Amino acid sequence: SAHQWQAPSPTDSRGPCPGLNTLANHGFLPRNGSNITIPVVLNAINDGFNFQPINLLRIGAKLGLLTTDAEDSFSLNDLALHGTLEHDASLSRNDYALGDNIHFNETVFTTLANSNPGVDYYNITSAAQVLEQRLAEDKIVNPTLINTVKELTVRIVESGFYLSVMGNVTTGVAPKNFVQIFFREERLPLEEGWERSEVPIGEDNFDTLLSEITNVTTWAPSGEVICPWIRLQP
Ligand code: HEM
Ligand code: MG
């Protein structure tokens, strides 16, 4: 069917976002991962995930345009431009300074994969712990680590993404196997029983989830870059 999972071909554009890669692998976004406009990406997110086009997604999509010289579209690979949306201490990709900030990396992903031991789900507390642990790991290996409030904000949003889209936006609980398939295979775990959120993910419930993650994070800025900045062009 139109939305069957299909592995990308070597010429298809994929990038550092497992969410958008997954939408492309299922044909909610163009399967070639290119020429993505703001309406196209917002519609795909709504169709695939029942995630409404809230301000936060609009801003994210607009920032995506800064990662390319094209005037009104981006490719999934463009999004890897370090310092616009792409940041250090990712959940499933290495830091830019350490080599490959685009492709899934099982070693990096181990921290999230092994979190919340003893149960079969991730939740708000485990997500916050993973954010802190990834940062601690990176402080050891990346002398150029950038960790300002901007990076923290984006990282919290991304944790909210996997908890709500693979799990439940209201409880913040997401089955481990769904989250792992999403990251490792960039596939919707439909055969495993995943269903698109019944409740629309929107401004109110998503903001609440983000506050809850924020509240259990003991974060402090670190490194030489203290003031948040956004890279405006390639
Ligand atoms: C990460 C772009 C929407 C899930 C990223 C990254 C970019 C990006 C550039 C890389 C950041 C990094 O880890 O260094 C976008 C844009 C979006 C969008 C432009 C649309 C406006 C979504 C949605 C989901 C999602 C709807 C839902 C599942 C994630 C996750 C990560 C991520 C979980 C973290 C990956 C990691 O830390 O390894 N996104 N994204 N994104 N995105 Fe998206
Ligand atoms: Mg990154």
Can you give the residue range of the structural domain that contains 78?
A: 18-215
Paired tokens of 17: 């976002």
Is 164 among the domain residues?
yes
Q: Which ligand is nearest to the CA of 104?
A: 1
Q: Please name the residue whose Cα sits nearest to atom 41 of ligand 1.
A: 19
Q: How far apart are CA 218 and CA 204, in angstroms?
A: 24
215: amino acid identity, one letter? N
The domain that holds 145 is classified in CATH as: 1.10.489.10
Q: Please name the residue whose Cα sits nearest to atom 25 of ligand 1.
A: 19
Q: How far apart are CA 2 and CA 66, in angstroms?
A: 30
CB 79 within 8 A of CB 15: yes
As for the ipTM of the complex, it is 0.99
Q: Across the chain, what does the average pLDDT equal?
A: 98
Dihedral sign from CA coordinates of 75, 77, 83, 85: positive
* 89-116: pLDDT as tens digits: 999 999 999 999 999 999 999 999 999 9
Q: Please name the residue whose Cα sits nearest to atom 32 of ligand 1.
A: 17
Is 46 among the domain residues?
yes
Is 9 among the domain residues?
no
Backbone angles phi, psi at 153, to 5 degrees: -60, -45
Is 227 among the domain residues?
no
220 CA to middle of ligand 1, Å?
Answer: 22
Pocket test for ligand 1, best of 13, 14, 17, 108 (most atoms within 8 A of CB): 17
Give percent of the chain with pLDDT exceeding 90. 99
Count how many domains the chain has: 1
pLDDT category, 1, cuts 50, 70, 90? confident
State residue 171's pLDDT score. Answer: 98
* 131-171: pLDDT as tens digits: 999 999 999 999 999 999 999 999 999 999 999 999 999 99
233 CA to middle of ligand 1, Å?
Answer: 19
Q: What is the mean pLDDT of residues 61-70?
A: 98
Q: Please name the residue whose Cα sits nearest to atom 39 of ligand 1.
A: 17
Judging by DSSP bridges, how do beta strands 121-122 and 174-175 pair with one another?
antiparallel
Q: Is 130 in the pocket of ligand 1 (CB under 6 A)?
A: no
Is 112 among the domain residues?
yes
| Residue 182: other Cβ atoms inside 10 A | 23
Q: Which ligand is nearest to the CA of 21?
A: 1
* 10-55: pLDDT as tens digits: 999 999 999 999 999 999 999 999 999 999 999 999 999 999 999 9
Q: Is 45 in the pocket of ligand 1 (CB under 6 A)?
A: yes
Is 154 among the domain residues?
yes
Q: Is 57 in the pocket of ligand 1 (CB under 6 A)?
A: yes
Q: Is 92 in the pocket of ligand 1 (CB under 6 A)?
A: yes
The CA angle 18-22-24, to the nearest 5 degrees, is: 120
Q: Which of 142, 29, 163 is nearest to 82 (CA)?
A: 142
Is 67 among the domain residues?
yes
DSSP 56-92: HHHHHHHHHHTTSSSSS-B-GGGGG-BTTTB-SS-SS
Is 220 among the domain residues?
no
